[in-house]
Amino acid sequence: MSTVSDDQTTTPPRDRAVALVADEAMTYVALRAGEDFARLRTRSRRYLATAAVLLLGAFAVTVALAGWAPGFLEAQVAGNINVGLLVAAGLIVLPAALSVVHLRYASRRLDPLAARIRESFEGSRR
């Protein structure tokens, strides 16, 4: 790439990049130590762990039932539809329901904190 750059024409581009990287790395360390970030991390990890365990847990329970206790899933509900088919349909709809919850939770509880941290990161670079 040719390098007629915006401002610092005297420093060679490679050195400038290295300086930039070192500088930014320290910004990340500082941000990570901050209170906002600690709150964001706790919140997001707690939420992600709960959601993932629920999602995969529901699947694991269904699979376990199907493999080792099929009698329960074979019970008829209406016509030819049995419990197993309803449970499977529920599983298939589950991610869609989760996505609604996820979008809402993330935009209310996570995004504002993330945006604040991102702003202070960008502020520190100017």
Partner 1 sequence: MIFSLIIFFLVSRLGRARDTCSDFYTADRAFTAPQNGFALFGTFMMMTSFLAAGDQVALNGYDGVLVIAALVLSWGVALLLVAEPLRNTGTYTLGDTLSVRMRHRSVRLAAATVTLVVFFCFMTAQLVSAGRLLAQMLHLPSPIGPLLVIIAIGGLTVMTVWYGGMRGTTWTQILNAVLLFAVVIVLAGILLARHRYDISELLGAAAAARPGDDILAPGLRFGADTHPLDFVSHLLTTVLGYAALPYLFIRYLTVPSAVHARRSVSWTIWLITPFYLLLILIGFGATALITTEQNLPGAGQHRSAVPLLAAHLGGVPLLAFTASVIFTTMIAVAAGLTTSAAANFTRDMYPTVARRKPLDEASEVKVARRTVVVLCIAQTLCAVLLLGHSIEFLLSLDVTLVASSMLPPLLFSWFWRRFNTAGALWSMYGGAAVTVILVAVSPTVSGGPSALFPDADFAYFPWRSVGLVSIPAGFLLGYIGTICRPDQNDVEYSEMEVRALTGAGAAPALPPEVRGGPASTARTARLRWGRRVPE
Residues that bind partner 1 (CB under 8 A): 1-6, 13-14, 16-18, 20-21, 24-26, 28-29, 31-32, 37, 40-41, 44-45, 48, 51-52, 55-56, 59, 62-63, 65-68, 70, 73-74, 78-82, 84-85, 88-89, 91-96, 98-100, 102-103, 106-107, 111, 113-115, 117-118, 121-122
Name which of 35 and 67 has its Cβ closer to partner 1: 67
Nearest distance, CB of residue 65 and partner 1, angstroms: 8
Measured from the CB atom, the residue of 35 and 100 that comes closer to partner 1 is 100
Contact 95, 55 (CB under 8 A): yes
DSSP secondary structure string for all residues of 20-34: HHHHHHHHHHHHHHS
Q: CB neighbours of 24 closer than 8 A, spacing ≥ 6? A: 125
The 8-class DSSP code of residue 79 comes to T
* Amino acid (1-letter code) at residue 102: H
